[in-house]
């Protein structure tokens, strides 16, 4: 109290400095992201051409395109969502609409959290032990898709649960009052309102799955397979594994650098497109639901 003025000034200067520092760090992190994106886009964009996207790799993967890897990733993403989407949405419905709060619900939530926290290489080990060996699928699109589907499951469950939670209870009560059963209410009232948010979650899960490498290492990914897969019991190439392979192994790492930059560019482009799509969807439907 003796020198209120100087104390006050010190306080102000201290605050200004700390605010500046935390602001600087925040923008620094954003700048870092842009640096990574810019670097990969700048190095990769020159490689991208119609031929790069639609041709087979040639010359020990130093020339040609990445067509089989793109197709392989599409198969894997599609296959994993075929499993994770219905199961995950139904699990989300159960947790939010049916499960009564108590130890059982807490247990389910804990298990979903645990599943989300399991490292991706563990999914790879598990997929190899269960799908590839025990069930005898071998290294195949089927085994890889199921493994990736397990990894995507907690994401779908979480987003479904959150989306359902945000649906106002009055909608449900109105439906019950009109004689709708529980399932009928969920199907006709709750799900349509929550659908945009659920779809956003699905899109984000697609983004996650398309870039995962560790789960497919031993379950499906082929080092070099310059043809398209014939069936779901076939191996296939995949974008993230392709990037790993051509940037770390092989004898011509330098020669295949352009291909690596191009592959990284495609992966980053998928992530950007997926995130922008999700943001647009959320914005567009977010407004629409509010109006109702």
Partner 1 sequence: MRLRKITEPVFERLIKICGYSSGFIVLLIVIFLFKEGISFFNLSPVDEGSTLWVHNSNPVKELDAAQIKDIFDQKIDNWKAIGGNDQPIELFTLDELGEAFTAEQLGPKFEYLPKCIDSYMDSLPGAIGFFPEKQTVGLLKSAKEVEVDKVSFSTFISDTEWFPTSRPAARMGIMPLLLGTLLVSFFAILFALPLGLAASIYLAEIADDRVRKILKPIIELLAGIPSVVYGFFGLVVIVPFVQNTFNLPVGETALAGSIVLAIMALPTIITVSEDALRTTPRAMKEASLALGASQWQTIRKVIVPYAASGITAAAILGIGRAIGETMAALMVTGNSAIMPHSLLQPVRTIPATIAAELGEAPFGGLHFKALFALGCILFIITLIINLLVERVSAKRR
**What is the rounded (10 degree) CA torsion for 216, 78, 207, 281?**
-170
CB of 40 to partner 1, least distance (A): 7
If one counts every other C-beta atom within 10 angstroms of the C-beta of residue 267, the result is 20
CB of 140 to partner 1, least distance (A): 16
Sort residue 102 into left (φ over 0), alpha (ψ -120 to 50) or beta: left
Strand partners, 57: 64
Q: For residues 53 and 104, which CB has a smaller minimum distance to partner 1 in the complex?
A: 104
Q: For residues 189 and 217, which CB has a smaller minimum distance to partner 1 in the complex?
A: 217
| Three-state secondary structure string covering 240-261 | HHHHHHHHHCCCCCCCCHHHHH
CB of 177 to partner 1, least distance (A): 18
Q: For residues 6 and 231, which CB has a smaller minimum distance to partner 1 in the complex?
A: 6
CB of 230 to partner 1, least distance (A): 23
> How many residues are present in the chain?
292
Q: For residues 262 and 292, which CB has a smaller minimum distance to partner 1 in the complex?
A: 262
CB 156 within 8 A of CB 205: yes
Token pair of 255 as six digits:
């020669």
CB of 229 to partner 1, least distance (A): 20
Residue 215 buriedness (CB in 10 A; 0-12 / 13-18 / 19+): buried
CB of 142 to partner 1, least distance (A): 17
What are the C-alpha distances in Å from 84 to residues 59, 118, 120, 231? 37, 16, 16, 20
Closest among 130, 150, 163 to 81, alpha carbons compared: 150
Token pair of 286 as six digits:
């977010």
Q: For residues 79 and 292, which CB has a smaller minimum distance to partner 1 in the complex?
A: 79
At residue 123, the 3 state secondary structure works out as helix
Q: For residues 65 and 262, which CB has a smaller minimum distance to partner 1 in the complex?
A: 262
CB of 281 to partner 1, least distance (A): 13
CB of 74 to partner 1, least distance (A): 16
Q: For residues 78 and 98, which CB has a smaller minimum distance to partner 1 in the complex?
A: 98
Q: At 123, give phi and psi (nearest 5°).
A: -60, -40
Closest among 92, 89, 95, 97 to 182, alpha carbons compared: 97
Q: For residues 68 and 96, which CB has a smaller minimum distance to partner 1 in the complex?
A: 96
């Amino acid at each position: 109290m003796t020198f209120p003025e100087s104390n006050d000034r010190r306080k102000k200067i201290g605050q200004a400095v700390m605010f500046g520092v935390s602001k600087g760090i925040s923008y620094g992190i954003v700048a870092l992201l842009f640096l990574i994106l810019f670097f990969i886009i700048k190095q990769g964009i020159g490689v991208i051409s119609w031929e790069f996207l639609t041709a087979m790799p040639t010359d020990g993967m130093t020339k040609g395109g990445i067509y089989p890897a793109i197709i392989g990733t599409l198969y894997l993403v599609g296959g994993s969502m075929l499993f994770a989407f219905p199961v995950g949405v139904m699990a989300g419905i159960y947790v939010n609409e049916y499960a009564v709060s108590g130890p059982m619900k807490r247990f389910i939530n804990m298990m979903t959290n645990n599943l989300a926290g399991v490292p991706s290489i563990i999914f790879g080990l598990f997929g190899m032990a269960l799908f590839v060996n025990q069930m005898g699928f071998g290294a195949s699109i089927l085994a890889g898709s199921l493994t990736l589907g397990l990894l995507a499951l907690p994401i779908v469950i979480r987003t479904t649960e959150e989306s359902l939670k945000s649906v106002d209870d009055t909608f449900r009560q109105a439906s019950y009052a009109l004689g709708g059963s529980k399932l009928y209410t969920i199907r006709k009232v709750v799900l349509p309102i929550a659908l945009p948010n659920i779809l956003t979650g699905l899109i984000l899960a697609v983004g996650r799955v398309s870039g995962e490498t560790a789960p497919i290492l031993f379950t499906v990914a082929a080092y070099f397979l310059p043809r398209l897969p014939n069936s779901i019991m076939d191996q296939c190439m995949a974008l993230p594994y392709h990037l790993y392979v051509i940037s770390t192994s092989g004898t011509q790492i330098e020669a295949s650098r352009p291909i690596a930059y191009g592959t990284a560019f495609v992966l980053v482009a998928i992530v950007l497109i997926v995130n922008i799509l999700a943001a647009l969807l959320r914005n567009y439907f977010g407004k629409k639901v509010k109006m109702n």
